Structure 1
Amino acid sequence: MFTQFKNIDTAFRHIKRFSIFLILANVGCICFCIYKSYDMVDRAQNRIHILYNGKVLEAVASDKKTNLEVELRDHVKTFHQFFFTLSPDDRAIKRGVSKALYLADESAKKQSDNLQESGYYNNIISANISQEIEVDSTRLDINQYPYTFICYATQKLIRSTSTVTRKLVTQGRIRDIKSQTDRNPHGFLIQNWEILVNQDVPLKP
């Protein structure tokens, strides 16, 4: 009789353990399903579909910080291309510089005024010179705000008879203005911009 009670007690303990295990497993399964559901909804919300030329394309939304360095470099590159790409045409020069000034503060305007006053733009026009620029690299520091940069570039002054190559190094800070426009698609503003080096590269013998 005591053996029978002992067997019943043992069986009850086994059933109790199994029930607890089953409850915990069910709770874990439910929690996992809830997590995956929220994850799927979040990913679905970050995906949009675009109809382009009769084709449906999928695009993924991303945080601005994800591509911060890429956007900063492109902003710096675009500014320098607008500012330093010059042709022997007064309207073209003003148009390019005007586009550049939307990407920077008054420090860029001061540099432009200095070039104007020194007769640089007039020399470009009178000598029929085309000026091109290629940004070689941009060194960024995104660990402090406003972000700092140093831009290394190569300029080419193309005349009908010769081409002069110049080394250009500039530096400045970049501030996030929290808004994007057609004229400033990245929503950044270059400030405290200055030219460190702008000199001819000696020809190799």
Structure 2
Amino acid sequence: MLIESLAQKTKLAMMTVWAVVGGCALICGFTVWCCVSLVNKERQQIYVLDGDIPFLAERAKLEANFIMEAEAHIQLFHQYFFNLPPDNDYIKWTLGKAMYMADGTALKQKQAMDENGFYSDIISSSAVCTIMCDSINFDEHERKFTYYGTQLIKRRTRDLKRSIVTTGNIENVPRTRNNPHGLLITNWRTIENKDLDY
């Protein structure tokens, strides 16, 4: 009877010990899994220091970033191409910057405008051309855009307002100092360039 009682108590003690060991193993495993997932999550976050204060920098989705960069590239190209003061050196500099951002179609349009005396007319009449972006429609799947802008040509005698609509495609190229967005405008053409009012 005593031996049977001792055997049952020993069996009960062993079951208790194994239950405690199993519970501790489960708790330890869960704790390790939580710590590893927390460390992996923290490794994906980037902190930016402003003096001694850290700020969490959030990653943007690639698609959203691409659309913003494409629209900024298109707008900057049009500013370089159409913002023209009566200064020959500055015109050459801005058009040179614009040529890094587009393919040969922009060069052909620049040469046609040069042959028609557009740039020499700006310099001789002391005209100032500025363009304002009204909107940009960009199709991210086809990588095609349509740019809507208003150009103001100020001359000494009169001011002229023109509506400019251009279209083209966007391609990825390596980023350089002259092309910081890493994009290239291709098949660029003007589909509307008409007077609005004086």
Which category describes the TM-score, using the shorter chain as reference length? 0.7 to 0.9
SS at match of 1:201: strand
Which residue in the other structure is 1:35 paired with? Answer: 37
Q: TM-score, normalised by structure 1?
A: 0.79
CA contact (8 A) 1:82 1:100 kept: yes
CA distance in 2 between partners of 1:139 and 1:131 (Å): 23
Structure 2 stretches lacking a partner, 5+ long: none
Equivalent of 1:125 in 102, 120, 123: 123
Check conservation: 2:125, 2:156, Cα contact below 8 A: no
Paired-residue identity, %: 30
> In the TM superposition, what is the alpha-carbon distance from 1:103 to its structure 2 partner?
0.7
The offset of 1:90, in angstroms, is 1.6
User: What is the CA deviation profile of residues 117-144 of structure 1, one whole-angstrom value per residue up to 9, with x for unaligned ones?
Assistant: 1111121122221100011111111123
Deviations 1:84-135 (A, max 9, x none): 0011222121111111001111111011001011111121122221100011
Higher Cα Rg, which structure: 2
Large movers: runs of 4+ above 4 Å: 5-22, 55-59, 61-64
What are the residue-to-residue correspondences of 1:53-132 with 2, within 5 Å?
55=51, 60=57, 62=59, 65=62, 66-132=64-130
Counterparts in 2 of 1:14 and 1:37: CA distance versus 1, 3 Å: same
Hey, what's the Cα distance between the residues in 2 that align with 1:201 and 1:18? 86
The alignment status of 1:169 with 2:165, answered yes or no, reads: yes
Distance 1:98 1:64 in 2: 32
Whole-angstrom CA distance in 2 between matches of 1:56 and 1:98: 43
Q: Which moved more, 1:21-30 or 1:74-83?
A: 21-30
Task: Give, in whole Å, the separation in 2 of the partners of 1:71 and 1:138.
Answer: 12
Relative to structure 1, is the Cα distance of residues 62 and 23 closer, same or farther in structure 2, using a 3 angstrom cutoff?
A: same
Q: Secondary structure at the match of 1:199?
A: strand
**Residue ranges of structure 1 left out of the alignment (5+ in a row):** none
Aligned-residue offset at 1:47: 3.3
The match for 1:47 is 47
For 1:184 and 1:57, the matched residues in 2 are separated by 33
CA distance in 1, matches of 2:54, 2:131: 36
Task: Report the residue type matching 2:156 in the other structure.
Answer: S
- Residue pair 1:48, 1:61 contacting (<8 A) in 2 also: no
TM-score normalised by length of structure 2: 0.82
Give how far 1:41 is off. Answer: 2.5
Change (3 A) 1:14 1:57: closer
Alpha-carbon distance change, 57 to 154 in structure 1, aligned in 2, over 3 angstroms: farther
Describe the shift of the 1:109–1:9 C-alpha distance in structure 2 as closer, same or farther (beyond 3 A).
same
